[in-house]
Structure 1
Amino acid sequence: MIALLLRDLRLAFRAGGGFGLGLAFFLIVTTLVPFSVGPTSALLGSIAPGVLWLGALLACLLSLDRLLALDYEDGTLDLLLTAPLPLEAAVSVKALAHWLTTGLPLVLAAPVLGVLLSLPASGYGWLVLSLALGTPALSVIGTFGAALTVGIKRGGLLLSLLVLPLYVPTLIFGAEAARRGAMGLDPSTPLLMLAGITLGTIALMPFASAAVLRMGLR
């Protein structure tokens, strides 16, 4: 499993679909928002949690179409089907690699970009915590979407249409937790819901992704 994780990390950096692309998109979204809504600090501070969460979600979405496509093209998926390692574990490793190269950099960059949006000082810790709890679910759900569309030429648009509705609960509770934290309110309820969604997807989605891959590659 460690060897597979290291291989996926190397591929993510070499293919250019990992960390750099996601961070660049996150920065662009955050920079453009003040131009579209105006430079008023009060307004920017009120929408900052939602904007940062939406930017992180879309940045995670960018690299999903390459998550399994390279392995499908070079035959690695066929080998994983016959390998001693369960396919569910292999899919989980791929989701972990996606989070390490895309989700984790976004979590670390969010406080810096929050300064551009005048995020209240009380909201930085809660923003990081909500992203740390929610972005793993985005990677796991995205892996399921990638499994559904693997082998389909130009399936990026279809992947987005399939995955975005599944991302909505994570976005709602993540942005609400960050918003409540920024306003000085108790964010425990949305954080608990967010943690529950993440744990549920981690427990169930690898089995669904593996089942879809077995049917698609049969």
Structure 2
Amino acid sequence: MIALLSRDLRLAMRAGGGFGLGLAFFLMVAVLVPLGVGPKGALLAQIAPGILWVGALLACLLSLDRMFALDFEDGSLDLMAVSPLPLEGVALVKALAHWLVTGLPLVVIAPLLGLLMSLPPAGYPWLLGSLILGSPALSVIGCFGAALTVGLKRGGLILSLIVLPMYVPTLIFGAEAVRRGAAGLAAGAPMLLLAGISLGALALLPFATAAALRANLK
């Protein structure tokens, strides 16, 4: 598992591997929205939770089609299917690599982008906490969608149509947690729901991902 994780991280660091792509997109969203809305701090503070979470969601979506596509094209996926590591483990490693390359940088840079969006100071801990709890679900769900569309030519659009509806609960509870925290209200319930979504995805979706990979490799 460590060898596969190291391999995926090395591939992500290479040119065209996807590292920094989601981060750059997230940054562009946080910069362009204030330019479009105008210097209205109260309005920006009101929409900041939703905009930041939409930006994080779309940034995670950008690199999903690379999760299995290259391995499928060069035959590495067939070798993984017959390796001692079960495909469920492969799915978990792929999701972890995606989160380390995409989700974790988003968590790190989120406070700076919150500043650009005039997010109230009380909302910063909740923004970080919601991304830490919710972003793993985005990677695991995206891994499942990538497994469903592996081998399809130009499957990126189909992948987006499959994954985006499954992202909606995470988006709703993530933005709601930040919104409540920024307003000084209790945000424990949406945070617990975010944690539940991530834990449920980690528990169930690797098996669904492995089944989808086996079906596509036949």
Secondary structure in 2 matching 1:190: helix
1:171 aligned partner: 171
* Aligned AA (2:79): L
The letter of the residue matching 1:87 is L
Aligned to 2:63: 63
Distance 1:211 1:23 in 2: 31
- 1:52 corresponds to which residue? 52
**Aligned-pair CA distance for 1:15:** 4.4
- Whether the aligned pair in 2 keeps the contact of 1:130 and 1:178 (CA below 8 Å) is yes
2:29 maps to a residue whose letter is: V
Q: Which residue of 1 aligns with 2:99?
A: 99
User: What CA distance in whole angstroms lies between the structure 2 residues aligned with 1:111 and 1:81?
Assistant: 40
Q: Where does 1:7-156 land on structure 2 (aligned, <5 Å)?
A: 7-156=7-156
- Counterpart of 1:212 in structure 2: which amino acid? A
Cα deviations by residue, 1:38-80 (Å, 9 ceiling, x for unpaired): 2110110111111100000000000001111011011111001
Q: Distance in 1 between matches of 2:52 and 2:127?
A: 9
Contact 1:173 1:190 in 2 (8 A): yes
Q: Is the 8 A contact 1:123 1:181 kept in 2?
A: yes
Partner of 1:203: 203
Aligned residues: 218
Please state whether the residue corresponding to 1:84 is helix, strand or coil.
coil
Q: Per the alignment, in what secondary structure is the counterpart of residue 20 of structure 2? A: helix
Letter in 1 for 2:133: L
Kept in 2: contact 1:19–1:105 (CA 8 A): no
C-alpha displacement of 1:17: 3.8
- 1:217 corresponds in structure 2 to 217
Query: In the alignment, residue 154 of structure 1 is paired with which amino acid?
Result: R
- The share of aligned pairs that are identical, in percent, is 72
Residues 17/49 of structure 1: CA separation in 2 closer, same or farther (3 Å cut): farther
1:64 partner SS = coil
Q: Which runs of 5+ in 1 are unaligned?
A: none
RMSD: 0.8
Q: Which amino acid aligns with 2:188?
A: S
Q: Report the CA distance shift for 1:200/1:183 in structure 2 as closer, same or farther (over 3 A).
A: same
Verify the 8 A CA contact 1:50 1:175 in the aligned structure 2.
yes
Partner of 1:186: 186
TM-score by length of 2: 0.98
Distance 1:14 1:137, change over 3 A: same
Letter in 2 for 1:41: G
Distance 2:57 2:123 in 1: 19
Query: Contact 1:95/1:139 (CA < 8 Å) preserved in 2?
Result: yes
CA contact (8 A) 1:142 1:163 kept: yes
Equivalents in 2 of 1:84, 1:65: separation in Å? 25
Of 18-27 and 105-114, more deviation after overlay is shown by 18-27
Q: Could you list the per-position Cα deviations for residues 150-201 of structure 1 after superposition, in whole angstroms to 9, with x for gaps in the alignment?
A: 0001110110011000000000001100111111111000000010000000
Q: Structure 2: where are the runs of 5+ without partners?
A: none
Structure 2 CA distance, aligned partners of 1:183 and 1:16?
40
CA distance in 1, matches of 2:53, 2:100: 17
